Amino acid sequence: MDPLEIDEPGRRVLLMGNEAIARGAIEAGVRYCAAYPGSPSSEILASLARTAPRFGHYAEWSTNEKVALEGACGAAYTGLRAMATMKQNGVNVASDILTAMSLAGNPGGLVLVVCDDPGGISSTNEVDTRNYARLADVPLLEPATFQEAKDMVRWAFSLSEELELICMVRSVTRISHARGVVELGPIEKVARTAVMKPEQRYGSLPPCPNHAEVKDKLRRAAEIYESSPFNRYAGPERPELLVVTCGTGWWYSTEAIRMLGVAERVGVLKLGTTWPLPEALLKRHLEGASSVLVIEESDPVLEYNLKALLSKEALRAAAPSRLLGKVTGTVRGAYGPGVGEMNPNLAADAVARALEIEAPSLPKPLRESMQAEIDFEIPKREVAFCPGCPHRASYWVMKNVLRLDGRDGLLIGDIGCYTLGFGRTGYYLSRTMHCMGSAIGFSSGMAKLAGFGFSQPTIAVVGDSTFFHACLPGLVNARYNRSPFLCVVLDNSATAMTGFQPHPGTGKTALGEEAPRLSIESLCAGMGIPVQIVDPFDVPAATRLLYRALQKNELQVVVMRHKCAVLQGREEGLPARRVWVDAEKCIGEQCGCNRFCSAAFGCPALIWDKEKECAAIDEVICSRCGLCAELCPGGAIRITEEEVQP
């Protein structure tokens, strides 16, 4: 049985952090859930969509995060409990409505869950979205465990209703994408009819009185926080060092204390409610603590807020003589304080430094003893397009076209699977990679520079999901302002990077229902932009088409359409055929001077048989797409239609 559907309070189940967040919403009786996929947040909405039939809530993949939050907001205006979830980049997209709607409030419980990605493990930045809580004047909760992830989300709904203000819950990769034991709670049965009454009006004009009102709400939030069970202290009554921490910082802090064996000397004050800060609670714990060390993920947000609080007249007496953290350089990071992910070792290092322990006796990793014996380079495993990925074919084509064109043409890319165009398997072709849809904006600007001597043709590359998410205004702009560039939409029929979520072009909703399939080509045609479609696996046709398009000095769209290989495999299994290398025909090192297929093409399944001195295919990895057979100049890679063991 799906653990999220178990209605058995007290039952302990193993949940992913994102599932725990979803369960919290379910237990709170959430009715409306919306999200745009993005690691490490995607599994929240996926879990809610999966369980929607059981609990009757609504869940959707919205076209972008702003729309998701606006949808949830709309639901909250009608009195329902609603939630929007997104990754850190998504809050930037949603920030316009977030900073506006908080001023006017909402009657139904409204929760924004943001999953940050410290260290940028699966992101292009490591933005700390807690800063938005202050920016938008909204209460912030930070779970430190899987249990809290569930419980806090549940509580966030009632807090939001009590304050009539959206609440933000900030998770991080190590909670969202980790798993642990969670004790389930009861599922609230909330029977509410959605209605917006005549007297209900929500507008942020005039802003100033509204702003004052939301400040009042925050003061009330701080009062409520004073007695929150999510804030707790553990340790000696009068610790030599008080660690103030939140989120995963708590985990690393307690681990650090264990590692250093300093449990008698160090106390830990864990805060779950980090904006606004509960003053009285902090005053109580800080009074008498001479050394305070703040350990938290990402930016020193808690640290700054604490410093600001301690500058208040009423709290000045509680200010410790030493307040240590990232600002003081006590808490370090892989790339400097506040840069990169926290971990137990960094926390132990900080605690040791705060306690002035000279050389903490921590276990030495094997690296130190092994290093001397390693007389070879360990090859780095670069991120790469998956075997069979249509984007590899598309990038192969675009690389060839740009080279054949010979005018130093540029590939302007952005965010999606095709971000990997920045790396080796995308032939390092992408020249930009920032945020969704920005390839269009960049190209739109660059293509207007002919008058300043700019003569390089431009290909703007976006994905299918990105197209719907953030490309339409940019294309409208380019069309309106007559900016001549080639926009290539890499359509792999999924939001593949984040786990194959459907989008408006796929004909399916998050709930698995049939949906109108929005056509990229019709949308472009509707704007009067010439559009062509080609299958990137037809390399010669795609190359010709793109080359020809690049010769024209006008705005055009080419959709390179081929389904994601992983998705294809999931839906239909591997094709019943074998792709193999005919060792007799393969001329190996002699081919095009040196193994053209593996050296130039870059498929992870196309390996090298040292003994036979010829190419080979790793059957475990190969997706049987067969593109290599087309590229092999000697016809040595063969496809045999036959049933093969999966």
**Residues 480 to 509: which contact another protein by CB under 8 A?**
496-497, 499
Residue type, 622: C
Q: Which is nearer to another protein, 284 or 638 (CB)?
A: 638
Minimum gap (Å) between residue 146 Cβ and another protein: 8
Please identify, among the stretches 292-300, 305-313, 338-346, 434-442, the one whose residues bind another protein according to the rule CB under 8 A.
Answer: 338-346
Is residue 600 at the binding interface for another protein, with CB under 8 A as the rule? yes
Is residue 621 at the binding interface for another protein, with CB under 8 A as the rule? yes
Minimum gap (Å) between residue 629 Cβ and another protein: 14
Please identify, among the stretches 186-194, 201-209, 397-405, 431-439, the one whose residues bind another protein according to the rule CB under 8 A.
Answer: 397-405
Q: Which of 71, 74, 278, 604 binds another protein (CB under 8 A)?
A: 604
Alpha-carbon gap, residue 73 to 318, rounded angstroms: 40
User: Are 97 and 206 contacting, i.e. CB atoms less than 8 angstroms apart?
Assistant: no
> How big is the site for another protein, counted in residues (CB under 8 A)?
94
DSSP letter, residue 468 = I
Alpha-carbon gap, residue 172 to 62, rounded angstroms: 22
Structure tokens at 447: 């293509």
Q: Which of 102, 254, 298, 501 binds another protein (CB under 8 A)?
A: 254
Minimum gap (Å) between residue 195 Cβ and another protein: 43
User: Are 40 and 176 contacting, i.e. CB atoms less than 8 angstroms apart?
Assistant: yes
| Residues 286-305 contacting another protein, CB under 8 A | none
Q: Which of 318, 351, 420, 558 binds another protein (CB under 8 A)?
A: 420
Minimum gap (Å) between residue 210 Cβ and another protein: 40
Alpha-carbon gap, residue 485 to 399, rounded angstroms: 16
User: Are 188 and 27 contacting, i.e. CB atoms less than 8 angstroms apart?
Assistant: yes
CA within 13 Å, CB half, 584: 1
Alpha-carbon gap, residue 584 to 636, rounded angstroms: 8
Minimum gap (Å) between residue 196 Cβ and another protein: 41
Show the site string, 437-476: x = touches another protein by CB under 8 A, - = not. Answer: ----------------------------------------
Q: Which of 63, 330, 419, 492 binds another protein (CB under 8 A)?
A: 419
Is residue 370 at the binding interface for another protein, with CB under 8 A as the rule? yes
Minimum gap (Å) between residue 183 Cβ and another protein: 11
Q: Which is nearer to another protein, 520 or 566 (CB)?
A: 566
**CA angle, residues 495, 497, 501, in degrees to nearest 5:** 30
Is residue 408 at the binding interface for another protein, with CB under 8 A as the rule? no
Count of CB atoms within 10 A of residue 198's CB? 5
| Residues 40-99 contacting another protein, CB under 8 A | none
Q: Which is nearer to another protein, 98 or 127 (CB)?
A: 127
Is residue 403 at the binding interface for another protein, with CB under 8 A as the rule? yes
Residue type, 389: C
| Residues 121-150 contacting another protein, CB under 8 A | 121-123, 145-146
Q: Which residues contact 347 (CB under 8 A, 6 or more apart)?
A: 249, 252, 253, 255, 256, 295, 331
Q: Which of 109, 300, 387, 504 binds another protein (CB under 8 A)?
A: 387
Residue (of 557, 490, 489, 552) closest to 528 by Cα position: 557
Is residue 399 at the binding interface for another protein, with CB under 8 A as the rule? yes
Is residue 259 at the binding interface for another protein, with CB under 8 A as the rule? yes
What are residue 579's DSSP bridge partners? Answer: 639
Q: Which is nearer to another protein, 72 or 149 (CB)?
A: 149
Minimum gap (Å) between residue 22 Cβ and another protein: 17
Positive/negative CA dihedral, 93, 98, 100, 106: positive
Alpha-carbon gap, residue 233 to 230, rounded angstroms: 10
Please identify, among the stretches 28-36, 157-165, 370-378, 576-584, the one whose residues bind another protein according to the rule CB under 8 A.
Answer: 370-378
Q: Which of 374, 451, 455, 528 binds another protein (CB under 8 A)?
A: 374
Q: Which of 31, 66, 130, 174 binds another protein (CB under 8 A)?
A: 174
Alpha-carbon gap, residue 90 to 19, rounded angstroms: 19
Is residue 596 at the binding interface for another protein, with CB under 8 A as the rule? yes
Is residue 227 at the binding interface for another protein, with CB under 8 A as the rule? no
Minimum gap (Å) between residue 321 Cβ and another protein: 30
Is residue 39 at the binding interface for another protein, with CB under 8 A as the rule? yes
Alpha-carbon gap, residue 543 to 536, rounded angstroms: 8
Long-range contacts of 602-606 (CB under 8 A, 24+ apart): 602/384, 602/385, 602/392, 602/424, 602/425, 602/427, 603/387, 603/392, 603/425, 603/627, 603/628, 604/384, 604/386, 604/387, 605/387
